[in-house]
Amino acid sequence: MVVPIILIVALIAGVISIAAAIIFSILVLKEDPGNEKMIEVSGYIEEGAKTFIKTQYKILSIFVGVLFVVILLFLPSELTEGKIPIIELEANWEQAIAYLVGSAASMFAGYLGMIIGVKANTRAAQGCTKSLDKGFDVAFFGGSVMGLAVVGSALIGVSTIYWIFQTPVVILGFSFGASTIALFMKCGGGIFTKTADVGADLVGKAEYHLPEDDVRNPATIADNVGDNVGDIAGMGSDLFDSFVASILAAMLLSNVIFASLSDAVQGAFAIFPILLSSVGLFASLIGIILIKWLKTKDPGKLLNLGTYIATAIFALLGALFVWILTATTEGITRAESWIMWKNYFAVIIGLLSGIVIGWTSDFFTRADKAPTKNISRAAQEGDAVVILSGFSYGLLSVVPPAIGISVAMVLSYWLGGVYGVAMAAVGMLAIVGTVVSNDAYGPIVDNARAIAEQGGLGEDVIRTADKLDSAGNTAKAITKGFAIGAANLAVFALLFSFATEAGIIAAIEGGTGMDLLNIYVLIGAFLGVVAPVLFSALLILSVQKNATVMVEEIRNQFESNPKILEGTEPPDFHKTINIATKGALKELILPSILSVSMPLLVGIIFGVAALGAFIVGAILSGFVFAIFMSNAGGAWDNAKKWIEDGNLGGKDTPTHRAAITGDTVGDPFKDTAGPSINTLLVVMTLTSTIFIGLMLLVNGGDGLLALLEAWLRGLF
Amino acid sequence: MVVPIILIVALIAGVISIAAAIIFSILVLKEDPGNEKMIEVSGYIEEGAKTFIKTQYKILSIFVGVLFVVILLFLPSELTEGKIPIIELEANWEQAIAYLVGSAASMFAGYLGMIIGVKANTRAAQGCTKSLDKGFDVAFFGGSVMGLAVVGSALIGVSTIYWIFQTPVVILGFSFGASTIALFMKCGGGIFTKTADVGADLVGKAEYHLPEDDVRNPATIADNVGDNVGDIAGMGSDLFDSFVASILAAMLLSNVIFASLSDAVQGAFAIFPILLSSVGLFASLIGIILIKWLKTKDPGKLLNLGTYIATAIFALLGALFVWILTATTEGITRAESWIMWKNYFAVIIGLLSGIVIGWTSDFFTRADKAPTKNISRAAQEGDAVVILSGFSYGLLSVVPPAIGISVAMVLSYWLGGVYGVAMAAVGMLAIVGTVVSNDAYGPIVDNARAIAEQGGLGEDVIRTADKLDSAGNTAKAITKGFAIGAANLAVFALLFSFATEAGIIAAIEGGTGMDLLNIYVLIGAFLGVVAPVLFSALLILSVQKNATVMVEEIRNQFESNPKILEGTEPPDFHKTINIATKGALKELILPSILSVSMPLLVGIIFGVAALGAFIVGAILSGFVFAIFMSNAGGAWDNAKKWIEDGNLGGKDTPTHRAAITGDTVGDPFKDTAGPSINTLLVVMTLTSTIFIGLMLLVNGGDGLLALLEAWLRGLF
């Protein structure tokens, strides 16, 4: 009885969310786009972004098409715990279609959010000519479109699929679709944006001493395009992916853990993550609207205030809905109600720990805190010392969130077992609408600043835009911490559902657990730890390779046409955008193939228990590298900005140049490799879960090596 | 019957080894120490090294004393599989004394090796005035003293203890003693050497454009001292530690695995690692002597040839001794002989995989191979790009050795189960005499070059010394790969004996295994992955902090006395040595305490299974960081040297300056943090094993949290 009502609530929430996104889009589009020059520049950015996305979506459709066929043919049967499956084309159709829908939904949300983001740029710049508040409003609503589109389309997708198929298993296909898109968007967008950024900085700033965003720099527009495709579309698809994965993990687990309860009660637990995510959406929406009414001189604080408001509303509304759910579920016992309440507390713990992780990122990357200050001071000793300092603090910054996640895991486990851990992930992602909105705000104001510069709006306006920009950076620290922490918890939760499906839980008959003292499991964990390392190396190398091509092109333009530097002729933006696009798409092929093929190979060769350990290894080292790279990159960036604000001698000093080196090294850390790792983890875990039937066919899930071992033992 | 004979063989091998070390020492001391200036400089270096070692040994004695008391009082009973132990002062005495002996043996080997290394510096420089061969001989024999002292004292210690107590358990104390010394020597020495090196480079090279090893630079002598205390004494104690740990792990496992066999056969398996290590010592010794007879133009190839010769001799001699052992062991069945032969093959696989890992390190760090060439080319794009490039290739270089170790583990496991894995570690360390000799050769020729420069021996001699120096770098790549790979395998083997002692092997009654699906085990693994990260961060920060103080001091000397730069007055070497000494000793306290306290805390809070996972996590991420840092650092170093050889524009170009930045960043990577991680892993694993009784007292080894959980579940 209750389940359909909750699904209706979720669908309504989704529709409201999309509607709000459309209304905000219209509001943003109504704003004044500024003077002719601004419209022109903004047009270039839009064109570049569209070109990139179109080319990327074309390649993506091939990738998605191939995986569609693979799912259709190689997905033996529906997942059934522990049993050897057979190929059932009918069941595979469901997954394959869900996969397509998931891909499409993520693409839609990414495209809408990005386009509005691009449109909001110039309008936010123009808003800054009026007041800080006006500029903030335009940028913030522009960003909210992405946040709302993500949550809305994800919720609609998940609830519709669950309604039709009545089982969370099909949501697996949806989630897998979302995560393959996210992988392309994060890696491709990340490589694109840093190719342009690093290229522009290396020639423009270091060789020709042009200021940031100077129109004469041929890579400036590509840099702005990169902000949109990397930070807006990429981050949106990343959180779409984590959001769906967290709901999926909890639902899959509820299927097994509460199997012995009555249908109604089991249904209530299955639907619980969808309910709380819908509540989170309302909370985010209220938070977004409240931000509109609150005025402050400090937009950074305002953004964070929005997060806290959404959290508080979520906690209250969530409690209300838990109360309603326990009150209306037929035949629920007191003990079962109490379990539900305990899981609600696990959700709150997840959410709070997300905020705490955000705070620690904030501490390690803020210019006015000790780590970044020390990094700035290290810049006085030269390039090498600023790198060493940022590197060390980046590594150090891994410790507090690791402890934070561990505490959250222990507490949520105590409250609700592995289902509780999954619910903590749901909690961390509950206010994802707010998180994505805050995050998309960043590149919009970054671009607004660039357009203000290029549109000749004068020093005052640029300073206003700068203020908005630095607010974006403050908020970003928290949202990044959230994104990494949430993806990690979600993947941990998925791991438990993977283990359940694979029948390797020790409590299941014949389940051996994932015993690290088993040599294959141990090696699985080893290879898992190495996977994100390989992945990061490939992505950073790609950026470095492409940036070198970009540098050649920029130098070439400056040398072949001196009028560009004089400012009397515009540079060729198209060529640089083209280089970034082609380079990014070429370079993301290998990482994408690896992310899908590595878990398949490990599972087939070493068996499913080793594959579980592979996932654990990847999560653990992925966490370390993601946090390290994000925070080191953020700290270098802010150290450079702090020096540019006139500290330690200010701009154009050797100290400043050393800080720029730090920032340039940090760019692909924080915007390419670091954030892509999340997505890698989700893709690998979902690949493992979705193809588990295939792996169970190989030597009963024990893998080829065990087969070979047995054969050899027979020989000798 | 057989056991005492083998122990006598081992003791003879040990005594021969020490005797050879003393003979080589005398041969080295007989050489001409060169002109007055050289003797003076060499005297400064010797004085500095002695001061450092003395101060360090003083602090060490406090640390060792405290641990002695802790072992005496808090080590409940002898380790007995699975049982709750009680405190038995008598048994504890044995461990505590063994601990002291292990510490003393490692200190002795380190001191002897280092002193002879220091004496060999100036004599090798003087040798270069005669011929390349002469210079090589002196440096190589100087280095061999360290190699032979290490293996000799370790073998004597291990066999004596085993002879007296008839159980490998007491060797645990010996091994723990060796590893705590290694930790201090590696961390302290590593911080010392890079404080001086980075400080000297930052001011001397970057600000005042002084050449390398210039006498006017006040930190030059400290830099040379650092090479001796960090690379000779540090590396020696590190491999001493791994060598003993690998033997110990195999012996402990044999105790359990072969418990059901007859006493004689069990004894043969227990003594097997000691036998093969003795064989390895003979092989190394023969290799060292053969090197003396082989003359070549390429000393780098000669060093590697020595490794291959030792390997081949070891394989042959080893087979012979296995044949003797199986033929003379009373009542050994054919099946048991076959098991022994299979473990012999596991040993060979270990040794070969050590060489393969060395080759991959070589590939990633040699100037004439693609990775380092690309890093050199990246230097043309500036400091940031050379950092990004080296960082990525460093990460990439983790993949091949990870696969290599995995293959070695699978094969050796197939051949001999976990005992086979332990024997593979023994194999990897069998020719440790050669490895340490080659490694100690490096800093000797490095210093010889410096002394040639400071003693005014002219361009020709310096070029000869340079040639010897670059040979040292080539050999170093292989030996470093060996050191890291061997430590890893040894710790894996120790892990299995830890698990056996802790009773957490799934096959043991009540043993739950280390199931990653258990939340505490999972968190244990998580914290384990983070431990080497924290450790590396602290070490690099220490170097950066101390180098900054050093920089101030050097600048101060130059500014307060202009005659120093004119070369008419010598700088104050003592002050810089003092800064490096004090800084290093102060900064190693926190990492040392952490390395002992972290495993204790994890074991007590989360239980012994989680502690096992903690060790696994630490090994895996430790492997990644150790290889990454060593190889990235090595590649940056060689990229810089390649440019200095006149490539890409040569010295004093922007490209060269960027390469120097890479090298400076790489210095603490490759010489402080990277190689210290090995020791950290061994210390943590031995701490876990030795204090297992204590942890089993806490909630039966399940840890405090499980107790708290049960209590909370009772409440709600």
DSSP string, A157-201: HHHHHHHHHSSGGGHHHHHHHHHHHHHHHHHHHHHHHHHHHHHHI
* pLDDT higher than threshold 60 for residue A216: yes
Taking the C-alpha atoms of residue A42 and residue A573, their distance in angstroms, rounded to an integer, is 13
Average pLDDT, stretch B365-378?
Answer: 93
Distant-in-sequence, close-in-space partners of A159: CB < 8 Å, separation ≥ 6: A7, A10, A11, A14, A274
Average pLDDT, stretch A153-165?
Answer: 95
The answer to whether B487 touches B578, Cβ cutoff 8 Å, is no
Over residues B633-681, the pLDDT tens digits come to 999 999 998 998 899 999 889 999 999 999 999 999 999 998 899 899 9
Nearest to B198, CA basis, from B675, B676, B665:
B665
Over residues A566-582, the pLDDT tens digits come to 888 888 988 999 999 99
For residue A533, the chain B residue with the least C-alpha distance is B395
B396: helix, coil or strand? helix
- Interface mutation vs chain B, best among A194, A395, A661, most B CBs within 10 Å: A395
| A389 vs B contacts (CB less than 8 Å) | 541, 544
Taking the C-alpha atoms of residue A511 and residue A502, their distance in angstroms, rounded to an integer, is 9
Average pLDDT, stretch A526-541?
Answer: 96
Torsion angle of the four alpha carbons B216, B222, B224, B228, in this order, in degrees rounded to the nearest 10: 170
Residue among A495, A529, A534 whose CB faces B620 most closely: A529
pLDDT > 90 fraction of chain A, expressed in percent and rounded: 60
The answer to whether A405 touches A349, Cβ cutoff 8 Å, is no
Strand-pair partners of B515: A515
Nearest to A608, CA basis, from A711, A687, A708, A509:
A687
| B661 vs A contacts (CB less than 8 Å) | 382-384, 387, 661
User: What is the enclosing helix (H) or strand (E) of B576?
Assistant: helix B573-587
A381 vs B628: CB contact, 8 Å cut-off?
A: no
Residue among A389, A396, A516 whose CB faces B516 most closely: A516
Q: Is residue A82 part of a domain?
A: no
- Cα separation values, A481 from A187, A356, A398, Å: 19, 9, 11
Residue among B391, B413, B517 whose CB faces A506 most closely: B517
Average pLDDT, stretch B336-356?
Answer: 94
Residue B65's Cα: distance from chain center in Å?
A: 23
Distant-in-sequence, close-in-space partners of A16: CB < 8 Å, separation ≥ 6: A152, A281, A285
Taking the C-alpha atoms of residue A170 and residue A174, their distance in angstroms, rounded to an integer, is 7
Q: Looking at chain A, how many residues does it have?
A: 716
* pLDDT higher than threshold 90 for residue A282: yes
Integer-rounded Cα Rg, in Å, for chain A is 25
A621 vs B616: CB contact, 8 Å cut-off?
A: no
* pLDDT higher than threshold 50 for residue B355: yes
Report pLDDT for B78. 45
Average pLDDT, stretch B288-311?
Answer: 85
A512 vs B526: CB contact, 8 Å cut-off?
A: no
Average pLDDT, stretch A531-556?
Answer: 94
Strand-pair partners of A515: B515
| A551 vs B contacts (CB less than 8 Å) | 381
**Distance (Å) from the alpha carbon of A513 to chain B's nearest alpha carbon:** 6
Taking the C-alpha atoms of residue A583 and residue A190, their distance in angstroms, rounded to an integer, is 11
Buried residues in B663-691 as b, exposed as e (16+ CB within 10 A): bbbbbbbbbbbbbbbbbbbbbbbbbbbbb
Q: Is residue A18 part of a domain?
A: yes
* pLDDT higher than threshold 50 for residue B82: no
A529 vs B621: CB contact, 8 Å cut-off?
A: yes
* pLDDT higher than threshold 60 for residue A1: no
Average pLDDT, stretch B600-621?
Answer: 96
Report pLDDT for A76. 60
B513 vs A534: CB contact, 8 Å cut-off?
A: no
The answer to whether B200 touches B219, Cβ cutoff 8 Å, is yes
B409 vs A620: CB contact, 8 Å cut-off?
A: no
* pLDDT higher than threshold 80 for residue B508: no
**Assign residue B706 a region: left if phi > 0, alpha if psi is -120 to 50, beta otherwise?**
alpha
Residue among B409, B543, B617 whose CB faces A620 most closely: B617
Name the residue range of residue A46's domain.
2-77+89-294+301-715
Over residues B164-214, the pLDDT tens digits come to 998 888 999 999 999 999 998 989 999 999 999 988 888 887 788 888 778
For residue A505, the chain B residue with the least C-alpha distance is B517
For residue A203, the chain B residue with the least C-alpha distance is B381
Give percent helix, percent strand, percent coil of chain B, each to the nearest 5: 85, 0, 15
A410 vs B523: CB contact, 8 Å cut-off?
A: yes
Tokens encoding B111? 């001191």
| A387 vs B contacts (CB less than 8 Å) | 387, 661, 665
* pLDDT higher than threshold 50 for residue B79: no
Residue among A515, A551, A660 whose CB faces B514 most closely: A515
B526 vs A198: CB contact, 8 Å cut-off?
A: no
Nearest to B322, CA basis, from B287, B301, B305, B347:
B347
> Residue A663, class by beta-carbon neighbours within 10 Å (0-12 exposed, 13-18 middle, 19+ buried)?
buried
Residue among B526, B529, B668 whose CB faces A388 most closely: B668
Taking the C-alpha atoms of residue A370 and residue A642, their distance in angstroms, rounded to an integer, is 13
For residue A525, the chain B residue with the least C-alpha distance is B620
Over residues A325-344, the pLDDT tens digits come to 999 988 899 999 999 999 99
Domain count for chain B, please give it. Answer: 1
Q: Which residue is it, tokens 């040392």? A: B592
Over residues A285-322, the pLDDT tens digits come to 999 888 878 777 788 888 888 889 999 999 999 999 99
Taking the C-alpha atoms of residue B705 and residue B522, their distance in angstroms, rounded to an integer, is 14
Torsion angle of the four alpha carbons A474, A479, A484, A487, in this order, in degrees rounded to the nearest 10: 180
Q: Is residue A662 part of a domain?
A: yes
Min mean pLDDT across A201-205, A276-280, B329-333 is at: A201-205
A515: helix, coil or strand? strand
A526 vs B405: CB contact, 8 Å cut-off?
A: yes
User: What is the enclosing helix (H) or strand (E) of B398?
Assistant: none
Within a 13 Å sphere around the CA of A447, how many CA atoms are in the beta-carbon half? 41
A516 vs B202: CB contact, 8 Å cut-off?
A: no
Residue A716's Cα: distance from chain center in Å?
A: 51
Min mean pLDDT across A71-80, A247-256, B16-25, B323-332 is at: A71-80
Residue among A515, A534, A624 whose CB faces B533 most closely: A624
| A616 vs B contacts (CB less than 8 Å) | 516, 522, 525
Distant-in-sequence, close-in-space partners of B200: CB < 8 Å, separation ≥ 6: B217, B219, B220, B222, B223, B550, B554
Transcribe B433-474 into DSSP letters. HHHHHHHHHHHHHHHHHHHHHHTT--HHHHHHHHHHHHHHHH
Report pLDDT for B588. 87
For residue A382, the chain B residue with the least C-alpha distance is B202
The answer to whether A375 touches A662, Cβ cutoff 8 Å, is yes
For residue A668, the chain B residue with the least C-alpha distance is B388
Taking the C-alpha atoms of residue B568 and residue B557, their distance in angstroms, rounded to an integer, is 14
The structure's pTM equals: 0.94
Number of CB atoms found within 10 A of residue A322's CB: 21
B620 vs A384: CB contact, 8 Å cut-off?
A: no
Report pLDDT for A470. 81
For residue B420, the chain A residue with the least C-alpha distance is A519
Nearest to A16, CA basis, from A358, A344, A288:
A288
DSSP classification of residue B85: P
Average pLDDT, stretch A403-416?
Answer: 95
Single-letter amino acid code for the residue at B492: F
For residue A611, the chain B residue with the least C-alpha distance is B516
Q: Which residue is it, tokens 């010794």? A: B285
Q: What is the mean pLDDT of chain B?
A: 90
pLDDT > 70 fraction of chain A, expressed in percent and rounded: 96
Report pLDDT for A17. 95
Residue among A342, A517, A664 whose CB faces B513 most closely: A517
Report pLDDT for B73. 81
Nearest to A105, CA basis, from A64, A63, A59:
A64
